[in-house]
Structure 1
Amino acid sequence: MQTSETNTIQTAQPKILVLGATGGTGRLIVSQAVARGYDVTVLARSAEKARDLKGAKFVAGDARDETALRQALQGRDAVVSALGTAASPFREVTLLSTATRALVNAMKAEHVSRLVCITGMGAGDSAGHGGFLFDKLLFPLLLRNVYADKDRQEAIVRDSGLDWVLVRPAVLNDKSSRGAIRAITDLSGFHGGSIAREDVARFVLDQLGDDAWLHRSPLISW
């Protein structure tokens, strides 16, 4: 099984845009990026939800709005997408793919090439590797429509021509960081796992200055 342990790469501090910054993982991405000395902009619809994102510049807007995205992208070097959406077992989900299509167009227009995009275990060729509970219960009953949109989202990123990394976390939890992260693309023998949001945020930010996973889709877990 192919594995890789992440290490922080010492590079010039990037200017980044974070989407999904008011979610559980997005907040940690912002706080860790600020702690690293990054210049951070967040795009969010609600100033109230973003007001505690200390050290980040706030731009009001919808992630599906290409004009708002272009405004937020000005002067940026890279984008981290931590966009998420609620489980919707009874209706089609399109937010992730719609926002990602608008983002790719906006990044090309603003000449920003680096994109690190979080999707999830169960997207693309990682489907069927989540373990019994995830694969047989959660996925078909609650997550099927969300993951159909994650698949569309991944396809848009892969076809974008950008310098992308797709990060597929295992089941997320709010435990303390363990430090060590397993990152794999060979999923033979992998059947489920979990990872702390803190460790996901660290791995995602490491990809801004490291090409080890460029144009690849690592599944990350403990």
Structure 2
Amino acid sequence: MKLAMFGATGATGRHLVEQALQAGHEVRALVRNADAWSGAHPRLQIIAGTFAQPAIVGDVVRGADAVISVLGARKGDASAVCTGGMRSIVQAMNVAGVQRLVALSAHGASETRKASLFIRFLRKLIAAKMRMEALVRDSALDWTLVRPPMLTDGARRGGYRAGTGLMPGFAGRLSRADLAAFMLQEAGEGNYIRQAVMVSQ
């Protein structure tokens, strides 16, 4: 596949890029600072820019078989990153005629908000994820929203569970490596098109 990625320099994004290249896919990724990415690969194209530059976002998306977003907010306003960034991605996909989108959300967003402790401690992030989900749902894209529980830096284990009605409980965990593996698989297989899916160990 030809993949467009957003959030590639984050903890989950780096797993995604690595796994995609290992699987033989081509990857084009938007980064704010090209120096933030070390290493080169013949099937990896790093494009420096921001979501305030529609032409550059369009360059990342154009010709992709699927777009994967793992946008988050390590610092600053989560809404600007999650919601504003997704608005730019959706617009670019519409212009380019790219349909498949797999986007990272969180357990605690939308109808799962009462089932997760996340919303108590990450209110601003969850609120931004809910606005991001609304943007995605309102689009005409073939989208999948992925909601993991608390993420860890553990090794890729496989054997995770996924489902639209899955409830991992307060102790739910998932490694970022396994999250990346699921999102990459879902981008190609499309088992949860126009659905929000929970993934957990």
Report the TM-score, using the length of structure 2 for normalisation.
0.92
Q: Which runs of 5+ in 2 are unaligned?
A: none
The answer for the alignment partner of 2:74 in structure 1 is 86
For residue 103 of structure 2, the aligned residue among 117, 120, 126 is 117
Partner of 1:220: 199
Once the two structures are TM-superposed, the CA of residue 124 in structure 1 deviates from its matched residue by 1.2
Q: Deviations over 1:117-157 (max 9, x none)?
A: 01111111121222xxxx2xx5334x111111100000100
Q: What CA RMSD, in Å, does the superposition of the two structures yield over aligned residues? A: 1.9
What residue identity is the alignment partner of 1:34? L
Count of matched residue positions in the alignment of Structure 1 and Structure 2: 200
The residue correspondences of 1:16-165 to structure 2 (distance < 5 A) are 16-52=3-39, 54=41, 55-86=43-74, 93-130=79-116, 135=117, 139-141=119-121, 143-165=122-144
Q: Distance in 2 between matches of 1:148 and 1:57?
A: 32
Query: Partner of 2:196: helix, strand, or coil?
Result: coil
Given that 1:33 and 1:205 are in contact with CA atoms closer than 8 Å, whether structure 2 keeps it comes out as yes
CA positional deviation for 1:51: 2.5
Which ranges in structure 1 are unaligned for 5 or more consecutive residues?
1-13
Is contact 1:65–1:99 with CA below 8 Å preserved after alignment? no
Q: In the alignment, which residue of structure 2 is the partner of 1:4?
A: none
Measure the CA separation in 2 of the matches of 1:153 and 1:79: 15
Deviation at 1:64, TM superposition (A): 4.4
Larger Rg: 1
Using the TM superposition, give the Cα deviation of residue 72 of structure 1 relative to its aligned residue in structure 2, in angstroms.
1.4
Task: Give the aligned residue type for 1:71.
Answer: D
Task: Tell me which residue corresponds to 2:185.
Answer: 206
- Structure 1 length-normalised TM: 0.84
Specify the SS of the correspondent of 1:102. Answer: helix
Q: Assess if the C-alpha contact under 8 Å between 1:47 and 1:60 holds in 2.
A: yes
Instruction: Please give the alpha-carbon distance, in whole angstroms, between the structure 1 residues aligned to 2:40 and 2:82.
Output: 22
Shift in alpha-carbon separation, 1:92–1:189, aligned structure 2, 3 A: closer
Kindly state the Cα deviation for residue 188 of structure 1 after the two structures are TM-superposed.
5.9
Q: Which has the higher contact order (CA 8 A, sep 6+)?
A: 1
Moved more, 207-216 or 153-162: 207-216
